[in-house]
Amino acid sequence: MKKLDTSKWNPPRNSSREENRLLEEYCREFGGTTFAEVPVGRGIYPRARRIDAVRFPSRGRRELASYRPEEFDNQLSNFQRSGLEVEVIEVTQWMEQRGVFGQVIVGAWLLEKEYGKVRVKRVVVSGTNCPPLQRFFAQHGIAVWSSTNKGRDR
């Protein structure tokens, strides 16, 4: 497996070490190019909101990087043109934490609202596994990946 490149990633101070570790682990497992702390909602909110991460699946790359506007916009444009799906990722230590469900839904909605036609998959990356919540999330089109079972509900 190709090594995850984190040379362009500065872990955000407002995230816990555990959440940063979970995001790295997820990116290492699934690859692609992932941008962390993506601002969205400009023009909707007085200040932009931040999505924990947006991942562009790719077999040939394994990169986790801090948000870089020009590179992000280029990747998103390519995925929009080709009709490929991007992942909007919410990272949490505990799946049971209030707000996780809403944050991933609103993050996906804001990305679609700001950038137009984007195929989005909503993903929760969690440090815990809670089968009843995983079923609930799945019923609402949200995939869950948990470090405790090294898999995701797809």
Q: State the pLDDT at residue 150.
A: 61
Binned at pLDDT 50, 70 and 90, residue 48 comes out as confident
Q: State the pLDDT at residue 154.
A: 43
pTM for the predicted model, two decimal places: 0.91
Q: How many residues does the chain have?
A: 154
Q: What is the pLDDT of residues 71-114, one digit of tens each?
A: 999 999 999 999 999 999 999 987 777 788 889 999 999 999 88
| DSSP letters for 40-104 | E-BTTBSS-EEEEEEEE--SS-EEEEE--HHHHHHHHHHHHHHT-EEEEEEEES-TTSTTHHHHH
Q: Say how many Å lie between the first and final Cα of the chain, rounded.
A: 22
Mean pLDDT value of segment 118-142? 91
